[in-house]
């Protein structure tokens, strides 16, 4: 089967690698254009483009999916199917339906729940116990197409965004390979999405600010769901402090939310219904550190 792969992020790389490792190397890869990255703002390729350049595969980086350039690429290649994994642009229907078998997508949730841009962050932030991967036929809606296959995983209390992202990326690659095999053999199902749904909005700066007038559970889940990037944060002496790891202190004090408690080289902050233990953090302009290192140089009384 002649495959075009469209993807951009680290999550996408795992799906592309799975195709290559299973003898399904795409005839072409489409990714976002190079962008300035890092402190020096040096132009760099996307993770998918960087990996694809190690293969004997043509790589295209059209600026806009809707200006006709991408459609012209598909017309030139004439693929049997397009595989789209975290590409980062809305594809017009002319692009979606151009290949013989249309376009399939790997989505990091159990659809129809958590459609949208940030399903991995949101399932952790919402305290969900389970999530997974869904492959689907793409249509003109946002993650609304008929489902093909699913695979589930438990969300462990030790999971943060990074660990769950990596596990789901690996699962997504494996499920994609099976999906394409089923499509090629004519055995792939088409399962309409029905029932309860929700939308996983893109993470904005306002989503990252910790409100200590909230429950311990919600604060800890926010920290987990945003670690390591963009990271939950609070304010201390006018500076942003990113919080990378936190847990329930399992005891409480009658204090105003935001009040800091330092005991036995441990850092606690009062929340609505208990104390949150801050274990790993980064003061603006400094390196990431543990609570002990932070307390050597700071004597905080209140976090906003």
Between CA 35 and CA 123 the distance in angstroms is 29
- The predicted-structure confidence for 132-173, as pLDDT tens digits, reads as follows 999 999 999 999 999 999 999 999 999 999 999 999 999 999
Q: What is the band of 35 on the pLDDT scale with cuts at 50, 70, 90?
A: confident
Q: Is the pLDDT of residue 283 over 80?
A: yes
Is the pLDDT at 41 greater than 80, yes or no? no
pLDDT of residue 5: 98
State residue 43's pLDDT score.
84
CB distance 12 to 87 below 8 Å? yes
Q: Where does residue 235 rank: exposed (0-12), middle (13-18), buried (19+ CB within 10 A)?
A: middle
Distance CA 216, CA 277 (A): 9
């Amino acid at each position: 089967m002649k495959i075009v792969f469209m993807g951009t992020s680290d999550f996408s790389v795992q799906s592309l690698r799975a195709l290559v490792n299973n003898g399904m190397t795409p005839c072409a890869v489409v990714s976002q254009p190079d962008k300035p990255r890092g402190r020096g703002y040096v132009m760099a390729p996307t993770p998918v483009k960087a990996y694809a350049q190690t293969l004997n595969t043509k790589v295209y980086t059209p600026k806009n999916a809707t200006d006709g350039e991408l459609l012209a690429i598909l017309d030139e290649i004439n693929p049997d199917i397009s595989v789209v994994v975290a590409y980062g642009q809305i594809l017009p229907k002319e692009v979606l339906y151009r290949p013989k078998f249309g376009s399939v997508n790997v989505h990091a949730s159990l659809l129809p729940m958590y459609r949208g841009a940030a399903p991995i962050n949101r399932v952790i932030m919402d305290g969900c116990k389970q999530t997974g991967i869904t492959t689907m036929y793409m249509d003109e809606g946002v993650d609304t197409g008929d489902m093909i296959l699913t695979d589930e995983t438990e969300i462990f209390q030790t999971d943060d965004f990074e660990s769950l992202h990596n596990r789901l990326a690996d699962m997504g690659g494996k499920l994609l390979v099976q999906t394409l095999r089923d499509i090629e053999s004519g055995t792939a199902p088409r399962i309409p999405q029905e029932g309860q749904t929700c939308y996983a909005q893109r993470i904005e700066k306002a989503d990252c600010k910790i409100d200590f007038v909230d429950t311990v559970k919600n604060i800890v889940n926010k920290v987990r769901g945003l670690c390591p990037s963009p990271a939950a944060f609070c304010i201390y002496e006018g500076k942003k402090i990113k919080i990378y790891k936190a847990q329930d202190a399992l005891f409480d004090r009658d204090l105003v939310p935001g009040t800091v408690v330092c005991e036995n080289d441990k850092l606690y902050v009062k929340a609505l219904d208990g104390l949150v233990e801050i274990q790993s953090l980064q003061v603006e302009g400094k390196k990431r550190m543990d609570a002990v290192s932070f307390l050597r140089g700071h004597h905080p009384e209140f976090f906003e």
